[in-house]
């Protein structure tokens, strides 16, 4: 479902120019539409009853498995270059390849390209595999470390393809790093639970406390589900907490080299406070 402004832009409806969209939005909301959901009729005739019916029929994100639909179909090596150079943080396309880099196999649940850029900037070589890649598919690439990407939908609805594979990958003892959906999937893989948040976190100014030393990172976030800290098993500890609502924002395992964050350390545009996580992960592959 799209918002009214998006619909108008797509249809270039001159006839809508006279409509006070704010007033319309207010009327739709006042009539009880869920927050943020504004439907439209295809004809451009706005029938508020029909709009509301559509909005109410939307089942919500809970139970929706979307990661496999937006993933890549083929596996590929990440080698975004321009004029012979890889993208580098603060430099643009200026870096060079060649040195012996640790190999990260990134499972793409709907990944942002800027994550791959940041992994490369931190010194890794990156191969990307589909969300539905098997344990054997990943291991065939001989990874030094595994990355679990962000992605849409309900983490608990990914069912068969993500969590069982992550469990097997954890057992290899190879370093593993997850972001956002990847963080939630790591949580599920070790037996924690995720729930739909009452209000998600979206935007580029979310303070997060790093519990190891109290440092506050200003982060970028985009999630509607969260790992429930109370359900973390004994071999997982919370590492980061949202200072907006106290929800979990990071975890690490105590018995395996795996950690993950709920926020987006690759944010761009956005604060770069959390780039250290890429350096930490790629640094651990060199050891
Ligand atoms: N950015 C993400 O990876 C989002 C994770 C998940 N789909 C959520 O909404 O919580």
pLDDT tens for 249-259 read 999 999 999 99
Q: How confident is the model at residue 223 (pLDDT cuts 50, 70, 90)?
A: very high
> Who wins on pLDDT, 71 or 85?
71
- Determine the atom of ligand 1 nearest the C-alpha atom of 152: 7
In this prediction, the answer to ipTM > 0.90 reads yes
- pLDDT at position 86, please? 61
- pLDDT at position 17, please? 43
Distances (CA, A) of 113 to 151, 186, 275: 12, 20, 15
Asked whether residue 38 carries a pLDDT value surpassing 80, the answer given is no
Residue 181 CA to ligand 1 center (angstroms) comes to 5
Q: How confident is the model at residue 235 (pLDDT cuts 50, 70, 90)?
A: very high
For residue 212, count CB atoms less than 10 angstroms from its CB and return exposed for 0-12, middle for 13-18, buried for 19 or more. Answer: exposed
The answer to whether 149 and 96 have CB atoms below 8 angstroms apart is: no
Residue among 161, 154, 98, 175 nearest 131 (CA): 161
**Is 262 close to ligand 1, i.e. is its CB under 6 Å away?**
no
Residue 3 CA to ligand 1 center (angstroms) comes to 20
- pLDDT at position 40, please? 45
- pLDDT at position 228, please? 98
172 half-sphere exposure, CB direction, 13 A CA radius? 16
Q: In the numeric block, which tokens belong to residue 198?
A: 């009452």
What beta strand segments (E) does the chain contain? 76-78, 81-82, 85-88, 92-95, 103-108, 125-130, 145-148, 176-179, 194-210, 216-227, 236-242, 248-253, 258-261
Mean pLDDT calculated for residue range 123-149 = 95
Residue 117 CA to ligand 1 center (angstroms) comes to 20
Candidate from 63-77, 133-147, 246-260, 271-285 with smallest mean pLDDT? 63-77
Active site residue 180: yes
Task: Provide CATH 3.40.50.880 ranges for the chain.
Answer: 67-286
**Is 181 close to ligand 1, i.e. is its CB under 6 Å away?**
yes
Helix pair 276-286, 113-121: axis angle to 10 deg: 60
Architecture of domain 67-286: 3-Layer(aba) Sandwich (3.40)
Asked whether residue 36 carries a pLDDT value surpassing 50, the answer given is no
Asked whether residue 245 carries a pLDDT value surpassing 60, the answer given is yes
For residue 218, count CB atoms less than 10 angstroms from its CB and return exposed for 0-12, middle for 13-18, buried for 19 or more. Answer: middle
- pLDDT at position 70, please? 87
User: Ligand 1 atom 8: the closest Cα is on which residue?
Assistant: 223
**Is 222 close to ligand 1, i.e. is its CB under 6 Å away?**
yes
Mean pLDDT calculated for residue range 79-88 = 61
**Is 224 close to ligand 1, i.e. is its CB under 6 Å away?**
yes
29 half-sphere exposure, CB direction, 13 A CA radius? 11
**Is 263 close to ligand 1, i.e. is its CB under 6 Å away?**
no
pLDDT tens for 11-34 read 444 334 445 556 666 666 666 655
Q: Which residues pair with 92 in a beta bridge?
A: 88
Residues 266 and 232: their CA atoms lie apart, in Å, by: 25
* Range from 28-37, 97-106, 132-141, 261-270 that averages highest in pLDDT: 132-141
Mean pLDDT calculated for residue range 214-243 = 97
Residue 14 CA to ligand 1 center (angstroms) comes to 36
Q: Which of 36, 149, 180 gets mutated to test ligand 1 (max ligand atoms within 8 A of its CB)?
A: 180
Question: 75: which DSSP letter?
Answer: -
- pLDDT at position 270, please? 76
Please state, rounded to an integer, the average pLDDT across all residues of the chain.
Answer: 84
> Who wins on pLDDT, 44 or 100?
100
- pLDDT at position 266, please? 93
Active site residue 266: yes
- Determine the atom of ligand 1 nearest the C-alpha atom of 110: 3
The active-site residue, picked from 180, 201, 206, 223, is 180
Residue 219 CA to ligand 1 center (angstroms) comes to 15
Asked whether residue 144 carries a pLDDT value surpassing 80, the answer given is yes
- pLDDT at position 108, please? 97
């Amino acid at each position: 479902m799209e918002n009214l402004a998006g619909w108008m832009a797509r249809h270039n409806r001159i006839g809508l120019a006279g409509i006070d969209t704010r007033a319309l939005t207010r009327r739709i909301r006042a009539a009880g539409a869920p927050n943020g959901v504004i439907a439209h009729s295809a004809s451009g005739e706005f029938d508020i009853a029909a709009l509301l019916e559509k909005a109410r029929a939307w089942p919500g994100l809970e139970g929706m498995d979307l990661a496999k639909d937006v993933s890549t179909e083929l596996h590929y090596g990440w080698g975004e270059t321009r004029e012979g150079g890889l993208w580098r943080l603060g430099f643009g396309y200026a870096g060079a390849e060649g040195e012996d880099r640790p190999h990260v196999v990134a499972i793409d649940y709907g990944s942002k390209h800027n994550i791959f850029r940041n992994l490369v900037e931190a010194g890794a070589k990156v191969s990307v595999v589909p969300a539905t890649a098997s344990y054997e598919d990943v291991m065939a690439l001989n990874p030094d470390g595994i990355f679990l990407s962000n992605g849409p939908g309900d983490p608990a609805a990914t069912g068969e393809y993500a969590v069982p594979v992550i469990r097997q990958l954890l057992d290899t003892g190879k370093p593993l790093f997850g972001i956002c959906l990847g963080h939630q999937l790591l949580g599920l893989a070790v037996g924690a639970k995720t729930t739909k948040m009452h209000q998600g976190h979206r935007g580029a100014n979310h303070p997060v406390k790093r519990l190891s030393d109290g440092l506050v990172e200003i982060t970028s976030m985009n999630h509607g589900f969260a790992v429930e800290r109370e359900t973390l098993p004994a071999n997982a500890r919370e590492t980061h907490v949202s200072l907006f609502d106290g929800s979990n924002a990071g975890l690490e395992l105590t018995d395996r080299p795996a950690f993950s964050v709920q926020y987006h350390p690759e944010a761009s545009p956005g604060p770069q406070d959390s780039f250290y996580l890429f350096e930490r992960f790629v640094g651990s592959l060199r050891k």
